[in-house]
């Protein structure tokens, strides 16, 4: 059985949209793209782009299809 270890990219600098999406996770811990769009009024593609970048950076992780959760913000 393998364990997935999330490596947080401490050099990553979020864009304005990524910061808005990240704040949803800081407030709610878990969210799906629809919830993020409802809270932020960002367009679907902007949310998807931000999620992809934040996952790649290790700041959030995909729990399962359509559900993501906050991992950490190394700036804090």
User: Which residues sit opposite 36 in a β-bridge?
Assistant: none
Q: Which pLDDT tens digit goes with each residue over 36-65?
A: 999 999 999 999 999 999 999 999 999 999
**Vertex 65, ends 64 and 67: CA angle to 5°?**
65
Q: How confident is the model at residue 7 (pLDDT cuts 50, 70, 90)?
A: confident
| Nearest to 22, CA basis, from 4, 40, 38 | 40
Tokens matching residue 10? 């401490």
- Tokens 């811990």 -> residue: 29
pTM above 0.85, yes or no: yes
Q: Which positions ≥6 away from 5 have C-beta within 8 Å?
A: none
- Give the Cα separation of 76 and 74 in Å (integer): 5
């Amino acid at each position: 059985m393998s364990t997935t270890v999330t490596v947080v990219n401490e050099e990553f600098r979020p864009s304005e949209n990524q910061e808005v999406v990240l704040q949803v996770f800081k407030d709610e811990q878990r969210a799906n793209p629809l919830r993020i769009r409802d809270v932020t009024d960002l367009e679907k593609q902007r949310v998807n782009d931000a999620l992809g970048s934040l996952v790649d950076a290790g700041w959030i992780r995909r729990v399962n299809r359509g559900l993501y959760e906050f991992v950490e913000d190394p700036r804090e």
